[in-house]
Amino acid sequence: MSFTMALSFLLLMGGDGIITDQSAWKEQAICDEGILPKGPIFVHFIRNDALYVDPTNVKSWKEIPELSKTEMAGTDFRVSKPWTPYYDESKPELVILNLGTHIHSTRFFKVLLDEALSFLSQRRAMAVAMGRRPPRILWRTTAPGHPECWKHQEPIMEGKEGASPLYEGVYRDRYTWHLIKDMNTYMETRVKEVLGENDGPTVMRLHDIVKERADGHLQGDLGDCLHYHLPGPPDWWTRVFLEVLRELV
């Protein structure tokens, strides 16, 4: 779950939305009976761009000799906070995971994804062996950025989301947004292979919801054409999430 999606969910649950820490935080919201069964919901957000399973193994691309600088340009995973200790110690009921936006190599993406899935599969087997119900796991697909988003005041035409020439220039070389679709496809296939869907859905397909939404990005002085404003497109991700939650509760 991205920071904006987590914030959108809290706002929908009646929270005040005053959260500036984009690395790790815990919040409680009281669910309205009209949305989900009434009662408290505890949300723990953890940013870990690479989903490193080993919390001591958080490296920048400069420390990974088998990967070239080109593959990892712009990425430094020191911003990542450990998530596996929380998984083991807090025993959450539902875990939402996402990987891809800050991974600039499909080869590295597959390694990281498979490591995370191996961890989850092992922990699920351990929980079942101990007679406990393992947490539900949801993977969300990665949403794309949109080159020159400041030029758009409304959604772009379907099929035109990759039409900008900048997809072949700096946006391709630095941000590698053209890899996201293939990463999402690999993720969905592997998640279903490893985790299955016997207990309900394990993948939330959010990519297609915003692939034409070049409007609504933060933009600003940094020209942020990846992240979105709130209210905005992430609120639709939250609505999809609520429908999935209704299936799970």
Q: Is 213 helix (H, G, I), strand (E, B) or coil?
A: coil
What mean pLDDT comes out for the span 160-177?
Answer: 60
Residue 25 has pLDDT above 50, yes or no: yes
Counting the structural domains of the chain, the total is: 1
Quick check: 42 pLDDT over 70?
yes
pLDDT tops 70 at residue 60: no
| Token pair listed for 207 | 């990519």
Is beta strand 224-228 parallel, antiparallel or unpaired with respect to 136-140?
unpaired
Q: For residue 78, what are the domain limits?
A: 3-248
For the stretch 86-128, pLDDT in tens is 898 888 889 999 988 888 888 888 988 999 999 999 999 999 9
Where is average pLDDT lowest: 55-59, 171-175, 234-238? 55-59
Phi and psi dihedrals of 120, rounded to 5? -65, -40
Q: Does residue 225 carry a pLDDT above 70? A: yes
> Contact, 75 vs 112, CB < 8 A?
no
pLDDT, tens only, 73-83? 445 555 678 88
CATH number at residue 212: 3.40.50
- Is residue 148 within 8 A of residue 225, CB to CB? The reply is yes
- For 183-207, how does the pLDDT look when each residue is reduced to its tens digit (9 = 90+)? 999 999 999 999 887 776 788 988 8
Model confidence at 221: pLDDT above 60? no
